[in-house]
Amino acid sequence: MPIGIFDSGVGGLTVLEEIHSLLPHEHLIYFGDQANVPYGNKKEDLIKDLSFKIVEFLLEKKCTFLVIACNTMTIAILDQLKDISPVPIIGVVDNGIELSVKSTKTNHIGILATPYSINSKILEQKILQANANIHLTPIAAPLLAEKIEKGWNKNDTPYLKECLASFPSTVDTILLACTHYPLITQEILSLNPRVRLINPAHATALEVASLLKAPNSSPKKGSIEIFTSGSVDQFTNILQRYFSFSYKIHYHHL
């Protein structure tokens, strides 16, 4: 039975890629809500409403395990979905927190995230619960996910530089608290090569494998089916630019 993975757009593909690499025999169904991206600038009620609709769609597709491949949605609705979902469901936030705390040597972590995630204070609270001695610099980047979604180009570099300039020199670890951001890892490192970037995608894939008790190998060949509420052509352009896995893609109105 398929694993359902969802995000506001293309960012969650970074999580899908890791799950597919670790569990190549699984059938993966992905939904990217490009028609409503970005979620990080929206009100919580709307984020929840859209998330419920996506979950309903994936359950109609007979998914037996769900992954919220979006920090904003994880913060907004994971706990509520856990209470009502008929299938297991996880998010990406906790894995990023754990990796960040383990990574820092200066005890100063930068958080790069959407306005909703920063304003919720959840990321800061979780990091300080793990280690109260850590100093945090949270930075909201309201345009970053949208620029990546549209297709990153060199004209976007000044905005990225502006975001990164807000981190003091004592920050040695930056939590990429939006699944879109790992798509521009090289661009970030070219501007700030001394930091370690935390991408929770692989750890999330390991959590999926552990919870499913999935075998390391299987004669069965998996597949990837992608649905977008936006432009199939635009979504395909991102897929071809950043990813090499095979897939089928469809439009679905949310």
* Residues forming a β-bridge with 223: 27
In this structure, the answer to whether residues 10 and 50 fall within a common structural domain is yes
Q: Provide the residue range defining the domain that includes 227.
A: 3-91+202-251
Position 218: which residue type?
Answer: S
Confidence of residue 213 (pLDDT cuts 50, 70, 90): confident
Q: Which of 156, 173, 198 is the last residue of a domain?
A: 198
Q: What percent of the chain has pLDDT over 70?
A: 98
pLDDT tens, residue by residue, 165-186: 999 999 999 999 999 999 999 9
Q: How many domains does the chain have?
A: 2
pTM > 0.85: yes or no: yes
In this structure, the answer to whether residues 57 and 123 fall within a common structural domain is no
Q: How confident is the model at residue 1, as a pLDDT?
A: 86
In this structure, the answer to whether residues 108 and 158 fall within a common structural domain is yes
In this structure, the answer to whether residues 62 and 85 fall within a common structural domain is yes
In this structure, the answer to whether residues 69 and 29 fall within a common structural domain is yes
Report the CATH number at residue 16: 3.40.50.1860
Which are the catalytic amino acids? Answer: 70, 178
In this structure, the answer to whether residues 104 and 154 fall within a common structural domain is yes
In this structure, the answer to whether residues 97 and 194 fall within a common structural domain is yes
pLDDT tens, residue by residue, 102-116: 999 999 999 999 999
